[in-house]
Amino acid sequence: MSIKISDEGLESLLSYLDELKETENKIRELLTEGFSSKLPNSVNIDVSQIQFYTKNKDPAGANTQWVWCFSKNQDGTYKSESKELVEYLERYGDSLKVGDFEFSLGGDKGQFLNRRKVK
């Protein structure tokens, strides 16, 4: 028995398999290092070196209400200036408040790092 599949269908299946593999790797990593849903008592993450952008892709000011940047490099590796923050958000989810700002991951695969001013 043979199945015919279009090039687009094959690309879609391969992409889905890559996503499954990525999920499997994250689960293995959590199981290997020990999963903990308990948040650390204190977090000291330096966010001052992260370059954020406005909605118009202009460099953001220190007090801009809402800004974004890519959470990782194009090859999937962590950016050195945001690695600790992104790893924290990936591990514990949701968001993290640092000073007057709240940081969170956005996009369907967490490809964006968002910062918004909170009161």
User: Residues near 87 by Cβ (< 8 Å), separated by ≥ 6?
Assistant: 78
The pLDDT > 70 percentage for the chain reads: 92
Dist CA 26 CA 45 (whole Å): 22
What is the distance between the alpha carbons of residues 3 and 113, in angstroms, rounded to a whole number? 41
Q: Please provide the size of the chain in residues.
A: 119
Q: What is the pLDDT of residue 35?
A: 56
Averaged pLDDT in 10-residue chunks for the chain of 119 residues: 85 89 84 63 83 95 95 94 94 87 92 93
* pLDDT value for 81: 95
